Chain A
Amino acid sequence: MIPAEHYVILSALLFVVGGVGFLVRRNVLVTLMSIEVMLNASNLALVAFNRSRLAHVASQTYVGQSHTGQVFAFFIIAAEAAEVAVGLAIVLAFYRLRRTVRSDEADLLKN
């Protein structure tokens, strides 16, 4: 059995890789994909912690071990789908204005 720490360490490594990509790259598409990497890393940590802390819960509809981390990850996936849809629409609108997808060309509000 792999200990839960390994999952958390892998999640931290993925988060660092995604964050470095978000800060270093200037292609807006790659920036969005780096955000995806970071959110996937956080999902992995949430599910690993859920697996490690199995509290017993009893409500009217469900008696068993709690799924709090997994439900959190589920909502993160939903929010991420919305974020990608809006983000890619903004990329398209920006491309129509500037004919490029470089983030440092997005200076319409400068000065």
Chain B
Amino acid sequence: MTAVGNIYFYACALMALVGALGVVASKNPIRGAMGLLLLILSVAGLFLALHAQFLAAIQLIVYAGAIVILFLFVIMLLGPSASTPSDRRGIAARVFGGGLFGIAGLAALWAVVSSAMAANRAMPMPVPDDSFGGIDAFGSVLFADALVPFELSSGLLMVAVLGAMAVARGRQGQKSMSKNELEVGASPFPVEPQRQLPGQTAGVFSHEIHLHEGSERPKESAP
């Protein structure tokens, strides 16, 4: 029994690490989303091993069923421009920052683990009740002790949905659009070509244009 539990844990841990590395290292965002899916499935498996059955189900439904699908929607909506070609600009700063974070995190982990090994104080693993982590016990806690944050989280989700709609829909109609949006034709409705003042180029406000009499203004109906 313990051998099976050990194999289960190490298999899930290995899959989780592979998935996380796949997210971070893959060039193609679709492969990254698949790595995220692998990570989520194996973390749900670890939740099961930790006696958190309801959370495992929530993890599968919300993450694998909603979040990964949302990522895939956006990746496929963007098409080939979802994957950015690699270039070397600023790579030193990025590698320095990432390496610093990685080394600091691993050093902190090593320090904690070595001190815990030296103190020889294992974390207790008491035997849970049969109902622990099930939907019955979890719901009793959630709707009594955590009722206020639960209702607040429903408000958070509603505000997030409204905000996502407002941001993703964009501003409709060219009068409300900024100059950048007008330039790229951000609106799904066709944008009329702007009337161009003489001497005006992109990125120049109209008050910055200095018109010299006779030099740039086109001659108007010279007799």
Contacts and interface: CB of A to CB of B under 8 A. Distances in A.
Interface of A: 1-10, 12-21, 23-27, 29-30, 32-34, 36-37, 40, 43-44, 47-48, 50-54, 59-62, 64-67, 70-71, 73-75, 77-86, 88-93, 95-102, 104, 108
23 contacts: A1-B125, A5-B116, A10-B13, A13-B109, A20-B98, A26-B84, A29-B74, A30-B26, A33-B23, A33-B33, A34-B23, A36-B36, A67-B141, A70-B52, A70-B54, A71-B138, A73-B52, A81-B62, A84-B67, A86-B164, A90-B167, A95-B81, A96-B181
Contacts of A33: 23, 29, 32-33, 35-36, 71
- Prevailing SS type, chain B contact patch: helix
Contact of B17 (A14, A25, A65, A99): A14
A17 B24 contact: yes
B132 A29 contact: no
B163 to A, nearest CB: 5
Contacts of B123: 3-5, 8, 52
Interface centre among B9, B16, B25, B163 (most CB of A within 10 A): B16
A77 B67 CA distance: 10
B82 A23 contact: no
Nearest to A105: B84
A1 B46 CA distance: 13
Contact of B168 (A4, A25, A92): A92
Contacts of A25: 24
B105 A16 contact: yes
Contact of A51 (B23, B128, B156): B128
Interface stretch (B88-96, B195-203, B207-215): B88-96
A14 B180 contact: no
B139 to A, nearest CB: 9
Given A27-B29, A97-B181, A104-B90, A67 B163 contact: no
Interface centre among B17, B33, B143, B153 (most CB of A within 10 A): B153
A5 B47 CA distance: 15
Given A52-B125, A79-B153, 7 more contacts: A2-B49, A16-B101, A21-B98, A24-B94, A33-B32, A84-B70, A92-B77
A97 B165 CA distance: 17
A20 B109 CA distance: 15
Contacts of A44: 43, 46-47
Contacts of B133: 67, 70
